[in-house]
Amino acid sequence: MSNRMGSQPADGWTQTDEFLWYTCDIVADVVTGQADRRPLVASTARIAPGERVLATGVGEQFRLRAVGNGTYRSTGVAAIGRPGFVVGALAVNALGNAARRKRAQQDTVPRWVNDGGGELTITHLTAYLAHPRNPLSLGFTGLDQIDLPEPGVFEARYHDMYGKGYMCVRLATPWASLVFALAALAAFPSHPRLLGGTWLPPGFEERCAHFGRPVRPAQRLVLER
């Protein structure tokens, strides 16, 4: 299923609701073993044998890391002139060095850094993000932790297979709940967010019914699997 969902009702049903509706439909098929019956979805991602593309859309990746190592370039001033001018020039230079030192120290604190976006391809085992310099491949069974820290954001932590150490990545996408649910089903079947149903907004099934969009009971099927 691509991110082109068709026309949207003008009475309060949102694009986010549409993504979540299709998320429930996909999860229900995966849980009941019917994912191979879904329509084929076109994608440029290189997938492994046995994988089936379930959805594509846009995604943007963020990594938790420092942007500096604490070093900075200190500048000096050779001031010539009246004593007052010399003192003032030295003071301004000292303030500039202090500001650069402070920025360098702040840059050592890990933060979420945007590493680019592109087309996101989701299978029942992997989330692939295409990018010319920083492609991302999140094999669900290789992840150590997963979560949904905020709406539309999937977070994962894992040990990098190329020796870069422990990595923390966030994937901002309308398909965040789908990525979480599939990752949980593949590798974290007892995750409290999966079992508690909080991978979906509270009352989502009731909201769908209110807008005349009955949704498949994905959460009930998850619990009954």
pLDDT above 50: residue 210: yes
Quick one: tokens of 10? 């003008």
Q: What is the pLDDT of residue 92?
A: 64
- The 3-class SS string of 10-51 reads CCCCCHHHHHHHHHHHHHHHHHCCCHHHCCCCCCCCCCCCCC
Q: What is the pLDDT of residue 7?
A: 42
Q: What is the pLDDT of residue 65?
A: 78
Angle between helices 176-187 and 15-31 (to 10 degrees): 20
pTM: predicted TM-score of the whole model, two decimal places: 0.78
Q: Does residue 106 sit in helix, strand or coil?
A: helix
Q: What is the pLDDT of residue 84?
A: 57
Q: What is the pLDDT of residue 111?
A: 81
pLDDT above 80: residue 156: yes
pLDDT above 90: residue 216: yes
Average pLDDT estimate for 75-103: 58
Give the range among 70-74, 110-114, 169-173 with minimum mean pLDDT: 70-74
Q: What is the pLDDT of residue 93?
A: 60
CA distances from 111 to 151, 166, 185, 207 (A): 19, 15, 29, 36
Closest C-alpha among 129, 153, 156, 152 to residue 140: 156
Percentage helix, strand, coil for the chain under 3-state DSSP, each rounded to 5: 35, 25, 40
Please state, for a pLDDT cut of 90, what percent of the chain lies above it.
68
